[in-house]
Chain A
Amino acid sequence: MAVSSPDTAVRTGRVTRALIYALLIVFAVYYLLPFYVMVVNSFKPLDEIRGGAMLALPKLFTVEPWLTAWNSAQIGVSPTGLSPYFINSILMVVPAVALSTVFGAINGYVLTKWRFPGHDIVFGMMLLACFIPFQIVLIPMARILGLVGLAGSTPGLVMVHVVYGIGFTTLFFRNYYEAFPTELVKAAQIDGASFWQIFFRILLPSSGPIIVVTVIWQFTNVWNDFLFGASFGDFDSMPMTVALNNLVSSSTGVKEYNVHFAGAIMAALPTLVVYIVSGRYFVRGLMAGAVKG
């Protein structure tokens, strides 16, 4: 998104401006409210929430819900808390993001600088693959993961996320390398540089921004995924989102809202931190993913 350089020709009076600010602030409150609710209630004892004071700050500040959510909350059949699933998610996200980014970079390089007859068809097919509803692949994927012995395992989930992430990562790198001067590549070829030398010495050193965009996009998508995790993960590989949903929707026992909120913040924190640290790149990825070209 463009850095603010607004020189709008529209002129507004004082009253209108006050109204505009008021509206903007009302919406800021609307967007912040659910998160505020999660944070304040995650530090309250349960009876304070039940008393109807959801918007109030905690009277009795406690970190107990956080400890429970992390260490001892009942997830499915075992009272392990969310910590093992947080680790599952990390073990799944890191290789999935790394591999899909590497493939995307190489594919983007080939599809822009080493074009062959039919390159646009190959790209078109990879692009369309980004948008399919994943319901259409769930049944055969479950079969294949079973056949190759990866059902219910973290490597299986990594494979799924790499396969269905390649479309987007290729799209990002292709559009970025499209704008990279082909003359430089041609010149290096005349000087006898090989395929890999050109990639590692010429393109890769200037790919910093697009690598950041791609890694953030993939990290957010894989971390936040629920459908694949719920379909192909079991107790040893279940990611954080699925565990959180199990915690919140379990119908047995007392509903520990404060623990649920603490768990939800835990699941949100990694992507939120990435967003706060590098929001600019996050938005660029969103826009590139949404608006082709």
Chain B
Amino acid sequence: MSITQTETVPIVTTATARERLQGWLPRLVLAPSFAAVLLFVYGFILFTFYLSFTNSKILPNFTFVGLQNYEKLFAAPNWWTALSNLAIFGGLYIVICTIVGLGLAILLDQKIRGEGLLRPIYLYPMALSFIVTGTAWKWFLDPGIGVETIVRSWGFETFTFDWIKNNDMAIYTVVIAAVWQSSGFVMAMFLAGLRGIDNEILKAAQIDGASNFQLYRRIVIPLLKPAFLSAFVVLAHLAIKSYDLVVALTNGGPGRATELPATFMYSYTFTRNQMGIGASSAVIMLVMIASVIVPYIYAEVKGGQSNGR
């Protein structure tokens, strides 16, 4: 009796061990990814947050200096330039992309022959790197060889278009290139929204005598509210993150005329050796993005649950 018991006990434990392993396997499989996200995303955010309260210069350093970096940051004229540029750039980028995207989507939705050809043409810039976009527009807008020279060669000798070299206007060239890159994508979002609208509603409104303009103004555009919201969130977060395009197009210049928070953060941290201030500017960028993204994701998740998901 005692012999059989000693024989069965180990078998039972191995079975439960294996079962237990099976039960834990899914979590074990997920663990490396989750650990990586915890460390490299949330851990790093905390680390940068901490650095923003230290007097780190060329290397991280752990002398606590309180809010000094934030005070210096908001006393720096460059940071205010970056913020006001972001307001100009972000505002125009979001508004123009939305108008162009919505307009193109509505036009494309009129049973257009050749839609299959036009749609990919509107969208392809989204596949390109911002560095490529920046290079193309940098020389196309360059007064020495680009638009200005071309129009002059058509006989308009006094035509001037030097925005990219002009301190006051350079930020608008960033808008031109960024709208070129992203508006087709916004068009795709609105087109998907338009195709989801039930035609019966539109037909009913038409029977009631609504004009085309009223139809869109009163019925279609209100129904596109979710697409407007998604477009806004995507564009706002792209605007705040904008870095590559400015680097390639103007490299923040002329002077500091096209400085944005992302270029500010990079130059303060890696070339000016003001890591503490760089970290505090990164924290501000995170706060800006979070204030756009978190409510959106929260609403999406909540909305999904109430729909019985």
- Seen from chain A, the residues whose Cβ lies within 8 Å of a Cβ on chain B are 1-2, 4-12, 17, 20-21, 23-24, 27-28, 30-35, 37-38, 41, 49-50, 52-55, 103, 106-107, 110-111, 114, 116, 120, 122, 124-129, 131-141, 143, 163-164, 166-167, 170, 194-195, 220, 223-224, 226-227, 230-231, 241-242, 244-245, 248-249, 257, 260-261, 263-265, 267-268, 271-272, 274-276, 279, 282-283, 286-287, 290-293
How many whole Å from B220's CB to the nearest CB in chain A?
Answer: 9
Contact status B132-A136, CB under 8 Å: no
Alpha-carbon gap, A54 to B282, bound state (A)? 40
Contacting residue for B130 out of A54, A133, A226, CB 8 A: A226
Contact status B202-A8, CB under 8 Å: yes
Contact status B146-A226, CB under 8 Å: no
Contact status A131-B126, CB under 8 Å: no
Q: With A28-B122, A125-B42 in contact, do A271 and B129 touch (Cβ < 8 Å)?
A: yes
Q: Which of chain B's residues 268-303 have a Cβ closer than 8 Å to chain A?
A: 269-270, 275, 278-279, 281-283, 285-286, 289, 293-294, 297, 300-301
Instruction: Specify which chain B residues have a CB less than 8 angstroms from the CB of A139 in the assembled complex.
Output: 47-48, 51, 60, 269, 275, 278-279, 282
Contact status B40-A226, CB under 8 Å: no
Alpha-carbon gap, A37 to B16, bound state (A)? 69
Question: Is the C-beta of B118 less than 8 angstroms from some C-beta in chain A?
Answer: yes
Question: Is the C-beta of B240 less than 8 angstroms from some C-beta in chain A?
Answer: yes
How many whole Å from A271's CB to the nearest CB in chain B?
Answer: 5
Contact status A267-B129, CB under 8 Å: yes
Q: With A10-B110, A195-B26, A279-B120 in contact, do A38 and B286 touch (Cβ < 8 Å)?
A: no
How many whole Å from B233's CB to the nearest CB in chain A?
Answer: 8
- The B interface, classified by DSSP as helix, strand, loop or mixed, is helix
Instruction: Specify which chain A residues have a CB less than 8 angstroms from the CB of B180 in the assembled complex.
Output: 30-31, 34
Alpha-carbon gap, A225 to B201, bound state (A)? 44
How many whole Å from A248's CB to the nearest CB in chain B?
Answer: 5
Question: Is the C-beta of B162 less than 8 angstroms from some C-beta in chain A?
Answer: no
| Nearest 6 A/B pairs, CB to CB | A114-B26, A224-B129, A9-B202, A275-B127, A52-B149, A226-B244
Q: With A131-B237, A279-B120, A286-B126 in contact, do A136 and B293 touch (Cβ < 8 Å)?
A: no
Known: A195-B25, A248-B248, A264-B135. 13 other contacts (CB 8 A): A20-B107, A24-B107, A127-B297, A132-B41, A133-B282, A139-B60, A143-B60, A166-B33, A195-B22, A223-B129, A226-B129, A242-B131, A291-B230
How many whole Å from B65's CB to the nearest CB in chain A?
Answer: 16
How many whole Å from A174's CB to the nearest CB in chain B?
Answer: 11
Instruction: Specify which chain B residues have a CB less than 8 angstroms from the CB of A30 in the assembled complex.
Output: 180
Alpha-carbon gap, A41 to B270, bound state (A)? 35
Contact status B136-A38, CB under 8 Å: yes
How many whole Å from B297's CB to the nearest CB in chain A?
Answer: 6
Q: Classify chain B's interface size.
A: 35 or more
Instruction: Specify which chain A residues have a CB less than 8 angstroms from the CB of B202 in the assembled complex.
Output: 8-10
- Seen from chain B, the residues whose Cβ lies within 8 Å of a Cβ on chain A are 22, 25-27, 29-30, 32-34, 36-38, 40-45, 47-48, 51, 60, 100, 104, 107-112, 115-116, 118, 120-140, 144-146, 149-150, 152-153, 180, 184-185, 188-189, 191-192, 195-196, 199, 202-203, 206, 212, 215, 230, 233-234, 237, 240-241, 243-244, 247-248, 251, 261-262, 265-266, 269-270, 275, 278-279, 281-283, 285-286, 289, 293-294, 297, 300-301, 304
Q: With A8-B202, A283-B188 in contact, do A52 and B22 touch (Cβ < 8 Å)?
A: no
Instruction: Specify which chain B residues have a CB less than 8 angstroms from the CB of A274 in the assembled complex.
Output: 127
Alpha-carbon gap, A124 to B301, bound state (A)? 9
Alpha-carbon gap, A11 to B211, bound state (A)? 10
Contacting residue for B150 out of A35, A55, A141, A290, CB 8 A: A55
Contact status A231-B234, CB under 8 Å: no
**CB pairs A–B below 8 angstroms (22 shown):** A1-B195, A50-B145, A116-B27, A122-B34, A124-B301, A135-B265, A138-B282, A166-B37, A170-B33, A195-B22, A226-B243, A226-B248, A241-B131, A245-B135, A245-B247, A249-B251, A257-B139, A263-B135, A264-B131, A267-B131, A279-B123, A286-B188
Contact status B189-A290, CB under 8 Å: yes
Contacting residue for A286 out of B44, B185, B301, CB 8 A: B185
Instruction: Specify which chain A residues have a CB less than 8 angstroms from the CB of B122 in the assembled complex.
Output: 27-28, 31
Contact status B191-A1, CB under 8 Å: yes
